[in-house]
């Protein structure tokens, strides 16, 4: 999965362009640039690759979610439905715009369960944010139908699933807008960075201003630009964008490697009757960034994860006990541990998340995920598959 495994001359060339002209900031200093506008180039390439009208690059995946929510009009007192299984950035971004994260159960896709989403909708709900965790997507057609019925925004968090598709559309492009992370361990990396895609001119116009202190970017004198509305600093530097340009060009090659390695491992584990696999929604194609398996129960899943480590199979995760990715360990959210005071409304409504999510626990307790690396040789992948089979069989 990590794009840094494929760093090479392409990234060096793009970065050297920036160092040669000396302009590390995306705005201004046009006379010095020698025609290089790396962030703008990355945006054009991202929009083209994701088959959308617009793209905006920003400083992180968290920033992408924050800018996307703000530019979609989500704010004070609004509720955003999000899954129990995701990275902490999901609720951080929601809270940063003054909205309320509403945790919601997942199903065997390891993403939002549409029936649970519909039950979680209230008069305060403004958006539904499916998170395409570990390379695969939610039941987007069902979620889009629900959002249409209730006039809600569908914001796809595709930070871990760039390159996957649903009904022939790139993930992130199916909803109203989509977000990506380009951090160091993502399939496409800028070192640090993120991106937003949309077909909404209104959202795109807001986004390029909002991520740069509200600058309108009119004319060629940055100091004379006006500020139509409040904004913040979520800009991506030219150096980070330069790395992203080279990485995005490699995406199809990266996906092909991931699919090959994923398929070898899945075929090996398919020989174990007790192992089943995460459901990929009909008409969906995952990015093959992770192989996600289910064991028959929580105890066997825990033992399988431990056995994989004992058999020297690295990069496997038991998310059920993970501090960053599963709600059970999010004490700082559930207990509202904030260094700045939260409003009484936010405090009161956050407490609604302090309940059990039995349906989520039933799936996550049985789940083991294995990262798909890019630099394995084919022989190493087959050896890994054999070790995984031995490890899991040893605890059955």
In tens, the pLDDT along 206-227 reads: 999 999 999 999 999 999 999 9
Domain map of the chain by residue range?
Answer: 3-250, 252-393
Q: What is the pLDDT of residues 159-210, one digit of tens each?
A: 999 999 999 999 999 999 999 999 999 999 999 999 999 999 999 999 999 9
What is the per-residue pLDDT for 298?
98
| pTM for the full predicted model | 0.97
Q: Is 235 exposed, middle or buried (0-12, 13-18, 19+ CB in 10 A)?
A: buried
Average pLDDT on 271-299 reads: 98
Give residue 262's pLDDT band: very low, low, confident or very high (50, 70, 90): very high
Give residue 72's pLDDT band: very low, low, confident or very high (50, 70, 90): very high
Told to judge if 124 belongs to the known catalytic residues of this protein, a careful annotator would answer: no
Q: What is the pLDDT of residues 45-64, one digit of tens each?
A: 999 999 999 999 999 999 99
Please check the confidence at residue 35 and state whether its pLDDT lies above 90: yes
Please check the confidence at residue 1 and state whether its pLDDT lies above 90: no
Please check the confidence at residue 114 and state whether its pLDDT lies above 90: yes
Give residue 129's pLDDT band: very low, low, confident or very high (50, 70, 90): very high
Give residue 82's pLDDT band: very low, low, confident or very high (50, 70, 90): very high
Catalytic residue among 38, 126, 144, 186: 186
CATH code for the domain defined by 3-250: 3.40.640.10
Tokens linked to 111: 């993403």
Average pLDDT on 96-123 reads: 98
Written out in words, the top-level CATH class of the domain with range 252-393 is alpha beta
Task: Output the average pLDDT for the chain.
Answer: 97
């Amino acid at each position: 999965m990590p794009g840094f495994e494929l760093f090479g001359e392409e990234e060096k060339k793009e970065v050297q362009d920036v160092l040669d002209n000396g302009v590390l900031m995306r705005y201004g200093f046009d006379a010095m640039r020698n025609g290089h506008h790396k962030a703008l180039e990355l945006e054009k390439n991202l929009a083209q690759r994701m088959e959308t009208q617009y793209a905006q690059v920003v400083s992180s995946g968290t920033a992408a979610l924050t800018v996307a929510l703000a530019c979609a009009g989500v704010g004070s007192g609004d509720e955003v439905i999000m899954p129990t299984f995701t990275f902490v950035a999901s609720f951080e971004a929601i809270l940063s715009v003054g909205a309320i994260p509403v945790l919601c159960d997942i199903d065997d896709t390891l993403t939002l369960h549409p029936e649970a989403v519909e039950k979680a909708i209230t008069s305060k709900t403004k958006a539904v944010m499916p998170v395409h965790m570990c390379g695969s997507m939610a039941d987007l057609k069902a979620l889009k139908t629900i959002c249409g019925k209730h006039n809600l925004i569908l914001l796809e968090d595709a930070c871990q699933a760039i390159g996957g598709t649903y009904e022939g559309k790139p993930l992130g492009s199916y909803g109203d807008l989509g977000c990506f992370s380009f951090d160091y361990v993502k399939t496409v990396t800028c070192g640090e960075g993120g991106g937003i895609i949309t077909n909404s001119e209104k959202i795109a116009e807001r986004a390029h201003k909002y991520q740069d202190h509200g600058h309108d970017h009119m004319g060629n004198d940055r100091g004379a630009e006006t500020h139509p509305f409040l904004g913040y600093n979520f800009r991506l530097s030219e150096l980070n964008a330069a790395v992203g340009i080279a990485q995005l060009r490699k995406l199809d090659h990266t996906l092909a490697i991931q699919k090959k390695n994923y398929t070898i491992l899945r075929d090996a584990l398919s020989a174990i009757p007790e192992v089943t696999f995460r459901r990929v929604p009909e008409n969906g194609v995952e990015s093959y960034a992770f192989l996600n398996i289910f064991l028959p129960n929580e105890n066997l899943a825990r033992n399988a994860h431990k056995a994989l480590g004992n058999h020297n199979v690295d990069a496997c995760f038991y998310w059920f006990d993970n501090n960053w990715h599963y709600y059970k360990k999010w004490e700082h959210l559930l207990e509202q541990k904030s260094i700045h005071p939260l409003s009484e409304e936010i405090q009161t409504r956050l407490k609604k998340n302090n309940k059990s999510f039995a349906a989520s626990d039933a799936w996550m307790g049985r789940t083991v995920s294995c990262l798909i690396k890019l630099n394995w040789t084919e022989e190493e992948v087959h050896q890994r598959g054999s070790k995984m089979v031995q490890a899991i069989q040893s605890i059955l």
